[in-house]
Copies of this chain bind each other. A is one copy, B any other.
Amino acid sequence: MNGAQALIRTLVDAGVDVCFANPGTSEMHFVAALDDVPEMRGVLTLFEGVATGAADGWARMTGRPAATLLHLGPGMGNGLANLHNARRGRTPMVNVVGDHGRSHKRLDAPLESDIDAVAGTVSGWVRRSLAPEDVAADAADAVAAAARGQIATLVLPADVSWSEGAAVADPPPPWTPPGPTEARLGEVASVLQSGEPTVVLLGGDVLASEDGQLVASAIAGATGARLLAETFPARMVRGAGLPDIGKLPYPPEVAIKALAGTRHVVLAGALSPVHFFAYPGVPGTPVPEDCTVHVLSEPGEDGVAALRALGEMAAPGATPQPLEASRPELPSGRLTPRGVSAVVGALLPERAIVVDEAITSGVGIVELTSGAPRHDWLSLTGGAIGDGLPMAVGAAVACPDRPVLVLQADGSAMYTLQALWTMAREQLDVTVLLYDNASYAILQGELSRVGAAGGGERAGQLLDLGGPALDFVALATGMGVPATRAETAEELAEQLGTALREPGPHLVQAVLRPAG
């Protein structure tokens, strides 16, 4: 058994049974070994950023790490932005990065680069397998490290992959996240009993759990605390029957208003909030100066267990406040961002997975979908744009019986558009709702928000996608994804309805242009 065969068999035994791959020469034995371990599903992507984003989406939906197969340092570089998002979302992932054979390292061949340094910027665990007899144990260690909510990167020299003498390793024991401590429970319980204005900020595992949200809702109802969700949750389960939890807004001035007057912020699976960027004259965090931040559970701990224990202590017998089912009416006429959100709210299918990279275009989308049938919502956790389409690939591979809807801004779509091809190749049930506003609209807002004066012509040109206009229908069909264009709310409703009903991938380009 060679290194590649032992590696793949060990991964499969440990529950890592899909690999999003973008291989090159140094990974050819890994590719060949896929025929020896048929339980590992290899999914080809045309760009490494698609592979890493897909692995992120897959893990968010399964709770297990997916593998990626990347080609040396430049391949890892191409995947780095979505690895950043995965790191920020605490997604478990195992990257296998092929490298030169051991004897070739010292020759400084053209593709030589410092893989370990690049990997180290996103990985909680990095190791280079230096012998075929070690590679399977290294793989098991990688899965164990990933299971703690981090990225594990295993650098695999080509000759370690092709050499005989390897053997399968046992899967690692399952990981149990740490539960609540008495000290934290006591501190938070007394905050809740103080009657002072308190926000419980939910994140991570709590938002991914129906039970976590319901318990939090019961506690809030009984104590008068307010619930908020972190701005960009990795996975949030939503819809009728769950509590109505708004998100802490992205724009700093709105986030500051949302927390104004709050004396205590209790973190349940979330980090203490900070603004995405620094702005002249604006404090770095929306937390008021006289507000105290308390930790109930940190990301990576068992926040649901902590909330249950807190509930028994601070709000015994309290009941949650679930939302009733409700959908917006279908709008009509010219398309507006809010109208698009209403169409989504009206049509969102049962058990949908929504991947949200709508950026500025998702106006009203949270409130207009909150009473829809139960669904999951995946957000851009790290702010590195270009994860919408790849995450949809991964989510659809993970959940073939569930419809996936991507809310996709145009500028971000262009970063990893190659994901459409994998959707077509694998016939994934993904509907891409493409918001076409022909601009980096968020940057137009940011230009004025940072006080960058004037908005001169030359500055404006760097934020404008309109010349030439991107024809996403042509781009999608060029990669095998059927696509249509909607210019009115009626057209959008009809096209989106059809796309959601039919199996396989579809793209609907929603044209959002200023009137006139």
Which residues in A have some Cβ–Cβ distance to B below 8 Å? 21, 23-26, 28-29, 31-32, 34-35, 38, 42, 44, 46-47, 49, 73-75, 77-78, 80-81, 83-84, 88, 100-104, 107-111, 113-114, 117-118, 120-122, 158-159, 162, 232, 271, 274-278, 280, 284-285, 381-384, 386, 411, 414-415, 417-418, 421, 424-425, 442-443, 446-447, 449-459, 461-465, 467-475, 477-480
Query: 3 tightest A-B contacts by CB?
Result: A77-B80, A468-B480, A35-B456
A31-B462, A32-B454, A276-B25 known; A284-B474 Cβ under 8 A: no
A469 / chain B contacts, CB cutoff of 8 Å = 480
A-B contact pairs, 27 of them (CB 8 A): A23-B443, A25-B450, A31-B452, A32-B452, A32-B455, A34-B458, A34-B462, A44-B462, A74-B383, A75-B81, A75-B384, A77-B80, A77-B84, A80-B118, A101-B277, A101-B278, A104-B284, A109-B277, A110-B382, A111-B276, A111-B382, A117-B121, A414-B418, A417-B418, A471-B478, A475-B478, A475-B479
Give the docked Cα–Cα distance between A402 and B44 (Å): 38
Residue among B83, B284, B467, B473 making CB contact with A103, cutoff 8 Å: B284
Give the docked Cα–Cα distance between A453 and B462 (Å): 50
A80-B74, A276-B111, A383-B111 known; A459-B32 Cβ under 8 A: yes
Q: Are A470 and B459 in contact (CB under 8 A)?
A: no
Give the docked Cα–Cα distance between A97 and B424 (Å): 35
Residue among A83, A450, A477 with max Cβ neighbours from chain B (10 Å): A450
Residue among B21, B102, B461, B475 making CB contact with A475, cutoff 8 Å: B475
Q: Are B109 and A84 in contact (CB under 8 A)?
A: no
Residue among A28, A284, A414 with max Cβ neighbours from chain B (10 Å): A28
Q: Are A468 and B25 in contact (CB under 8 A)?
A: no
A386 / chain B contacts, CB cutoff of 8 Å = 78
What residue in chain B is nearest A275 (Cβ atoms)? Answer: B109
A121-B114, A471-B478 known; A81-B88 Cβ under 8 A: no
Q: Are A458 and B38 in contact (CB under 8 A)?
A: yes
A274 / chain B contacts, CB cutoff of 8 Å = 104, 107-109
A470 / chain B contacts, CB cutoff of 8 Å = 421, 478-480
A415 / chain B contacts, CB cutoff of 8 Å = 46-47, 78, 418
A74 / chain B contacts, CB cutoff of 8 Å = 80-81, 84, 382-384
A49 / chain B contacts, CB cutoff of 8 Å = 78
What residue in chain B is nearest A26 (Cβ atoms)? Answer: B277
What residue in chain B is nearest A469 (Cβ atoms)? Answer: B480
Give the docked Cα–Cα distance between A271 and B112 (Å): 14
Q: Are A110 and B383 in contact (CB under 8 A)?
A: yes
What residue in chain B is nearest A382 (Cβ atoms)? Answer: B110
Q: Are A450 and B29 in contact (CB under 8 A)?
A: yes
A232 / chain B contacts, CB cutoff of 8 Å = 110
Give the docked Cα–Cα distance between A300 and B100 (Å): 26
A447 / chain B contacts, CB cutoff of 8 Å = 28, 31-32
